[in-house]
Chains A and B, each alone.
Chain A
Amino acid sequence: MRVAPGTTLAVLGRNGAGKSTLLRILATLLRPHEGDVLVFGEPLPRRAFNVRARLGLLAHEPLLYRELSGRENLEYHAGLHGVRRGRVQEVLEAVGMERRAGDPVRLLSRGMVQRLAVCRAVLHEPELLLLDEPRANLDPAASELVEPLIGRQSGATRVLTSHDPGSALAEADLVLALKDGRPAFIGPPEQLGESQLRDLYA
């Protein structure tokens, strides 16, 4: 299957179906056992180095150090990605975290940590966003805040998973349904029937 630039692929499936594993393979963190994976036309894992600067991963774990503040964490990641000065403040303001940015991450609520994780994932303005349950722990107001960064408006190609198939299908141009680690459906969301969807989560 191929995901066109600027479109959204929703990956659906029960817990343990392989959604997060697929995202980690695309993020170059895991090696595929079989088959070929190309990101931006570069085969993984052989040319992984070439794609890392162009992708952002929002994983289950926020990938933030608990003892450092949100700002210190983001400045650290900005350094690793060679991001311009001022971008950290920009993303903090975008998610409404500028006032709590000096607090250690361990003192923040889950929703706030998730907002910081969004900041980390988009800090280097990636062309490909790998979003694993991106709205987990976010209330409706916070979800709205992160929308310009990780939603369709971001302009990035997106691969997303969600525990809520309804919301994932609403955002998707293409759906990949996984069952026991294998594709059970590949196609546009409108072709995924109710019974197929029920079967997927049965």
Chain B
Amino acid sequence: MRTALILLRKDLRLELRTLETVPAMVLFAVVTFVIFHFGLNRDTIDGQLAAGVLTATLLFASMLAINRLFVAEREQGGFDAFLLAPVDRSAMLLAKAAALFLFMVALEVIAVPAFGLFLLGPSLGPPLPGLILVLVLADLGLAVIGTLVSAIAVHTRARDLIGPIIGLPLLIPALIATARAAGPLLRTVDPASAPPGKWVAILALYDLVFALLAYAVFDFLLED
């Protein structure tokens, strides 16, 4: 855990220094909402459509972070330096997943209110607690899978292509569960007070399965 915190602190420091990832994600998400606003030719959306638009936008924005997650390690010798240290390899999985999770949270702190402002019909206030729960679960799954995919893609020449090609199909179940869990919260008429338990459970199970899978295979991705 101590090693993971050292790695996480370094990653956050690098992001604060360069501002390469989170601002790009935020800009992408906001522009996408504006495009949906005009593309759908609707002032407001709600229910399942709103949940789908929000989830898909956040998912695509996350690809920007996933593509860049290991770039500094690859290009500046971070992998070698880490592998030379007498530390547990899984600390890097934990740290990178935590960094990606925090990038997603930072994105959502700006993007979700922007979504409420540009597109969402009903007020964002009442569904917010339920939406936060759903997004946190979605972010956990995305952080784990994103880290795994990024660790694979960074060793390839076409990493910007490989990330989405591998990552998006793996994230489809999370996309479905997130959208289905958030949909009833965002209805204008008869909104649900809490997300449907079935979809929340599926999302949590999905997170758990991929966390275990990532823990099992991550060491091999770091070796030569």
Query: Using a CB–CB distance below 8 Å, which chain A residues touch chain B?
Result: 27-31, 49, 52-53, 55, 57, 59, 61-68, 72, 76-77, 79-81, 104, 120
Q: Using Cβ atoms and an 8 Å threshold, which residues of chain B touch A59?
A: 77, 80
Q: Using Cβ atoms and an 8 Å threshold, which residues of chain B touch A68?
A: 10, 13-14, 17
Contact A65 B78 (CB under 8 A): yes
**B6, B14, B78, B84: the one within 8 Å of A52 (CB):** B84
Contact B87 A64 (CB under 8 A): no
**B14, B85, B87, B223: the one within 8 Å of A67 (CB):** B14
Contact A31 B224 (CB under 8 A): yes
| Count of inter-chain pairs, beta carbons less than 8 A | 64
Q: Given contacts A31-B224, A67-B18, is CB(A77)–CB(B86) below 8 Å?
A: no
Q: Using Cβ atoms and an 8 Å threshold, which residues of chain B touch A64?
A: 76-77
What is the CA–CA distance of A31 and B83 in the complex, to the nearest angstrom? 13
Q: B17 to nearest A CB, angstroms? A: 5
Query: Using a CB–CB distance below 8 Å, which chain B residues touch chain A?
Result: 2-3, 6, 10, 13-14, 17-18, 72, 76-78, 80-87, 223-224
What is the CA–CA distance of A29 and B223 in the complex, to the nearest angstrom? 8
Contact A65 B72 (CB under 8 A): yes
Q: Using Cβ atoms and an 8 Å threshold, which residues of chain B touch A30?
A: 224
What is the CA–CA distance of A130 and B167 in the complex, to the nearest angstrom? 38
What is the CA–CA distance of A31 and B85 in the complex, to the nearest angstrom? 17
Contact B86 A29 (CB under 8 A): no
Contact B14 A63 (CB under 8 A): no
What is the CA–CA distance of A55 and B10 in the complex, to the nearest angstrom? 23
**A53, A62, A72: the one within 8 Å of B13 (CB):** A72
